[in-house]
């Protein structure tokens, strides 16, 4: 395998792993799909979209991966931001998430783009309180582990972790997302 056809990816234990470029593209596409399904499950689970619309939404999500070569960390951040937004709208009557075509647009500051600051604040708080908003991180990690393995054991393990943490709102997102992923609904 030539060096032009490979890229270096760091694992959790900082071990380098050589991954062919086409595998990276496939992984990024899979992460974008799961990010879309998570957002759909959290905000628009009862909405019907055409395949053309869903392709537009995936393209909007892909813009949030640009400029960050660590797609896996970016995916986890995206999942956490979706969870933070879901909790924000659930806290008070009258709050809502706009249509996906607007909310997912990287230039719409009152949409998903605006949640980056929220996650930065959560990460800062975790420096002094490590378990702060732990459920959102658990869900993001569980989604990533599921994509790595597609194993029912992983689903059960993270389902039970979220249940132990009493993160019932996130359990619903987790369940809906995996159902939508499995059955492409």
Express each pLDDT in 85-109 by its tens digit: 999 999 999 999 999 999 999 999 9
For residues 86 and 42, the answer to whether their CB atoms sit within 8 Å is yes
> pLDDT tens, 114-144?
999 999 999 999 999 988 999 999 999 999 9
Contacts with 91 (C-beta within 8 Å, 6 or more apart), sequence order:
none
- d(Cα 178, Cα 25) in Å, to the nearest integer? 22
Answer yes or no: is 6 within a domain.
no
Pick the range with the lowest mean pLDDT from 10-14, 57-61, 87-91, 148-152.
Answer: 10-14
Range of the domain at 125: 21-183
Q: Say if 15 falls within a structural domain.
A: no
Residue 9 falls within a domain, yes or no? Answer: no
Average pLDDT over residues 52-74: 94
**pLDDT, tens digit, for every residue of 17-58?**
555 667 788 899 999 999 999 999 999 999 999 999 999 999
10 has a pLDDT exceeding 50: no
Q: What whole-number distance in Å separates Cα of residue 134 and Cα of residue 41?
A: 20
Does 2 reside within a domain? no
Number of structural domains, the chain? 1
In a domain, 49, yes or no: yes
**Residue 87 lies inside a defined structural domain of this protein:** yes
Beta bridge partners of 20: 6
Predicted TM-score (pTM) of the model is 0.84
In a domain, 8, yes or no: no
Please give the pLDDT value at position 1. Answer: 45
């Amino acid at each position: 395998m030539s060096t032009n056809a490979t890229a270096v990816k760091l694992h959790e234990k900082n071990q380098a792993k050589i991954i062919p470029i086409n595998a990276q593209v496939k992984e990024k596409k899979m992460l974008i799909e799961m990010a879309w399904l998570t957002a759909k499950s959290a905000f628009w689970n009862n909405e019907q979209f055409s395949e053309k619309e869903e392709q537009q939404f995936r393209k909007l999500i892909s813009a949030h991966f640009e400029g960050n070569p660590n797609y896996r960390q970016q995916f986890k951040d995206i999942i956490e931001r979706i969870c933070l937004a879901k909790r924000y709208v659930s806290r008070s009557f009258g709050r809502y998430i706009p249509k996906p075509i607007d909310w997912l647009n990287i230039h719409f500051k009152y949409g998903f783009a605006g949640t980056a600051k929220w996650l930065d604040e959560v990460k800062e708080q975790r420096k002094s309180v490590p378990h702060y908003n732990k459920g959102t991180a658990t869900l993001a990690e569980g989604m990533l582990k599921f994509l790595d393995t597609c194993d029912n054991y992983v689903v059960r393990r993270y389902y039970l972790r979220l249940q132990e943490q009493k993160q019932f709102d996130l359990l619903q997102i987790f369940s809906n997302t995996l159902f939508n992923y499995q059955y492409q609904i």
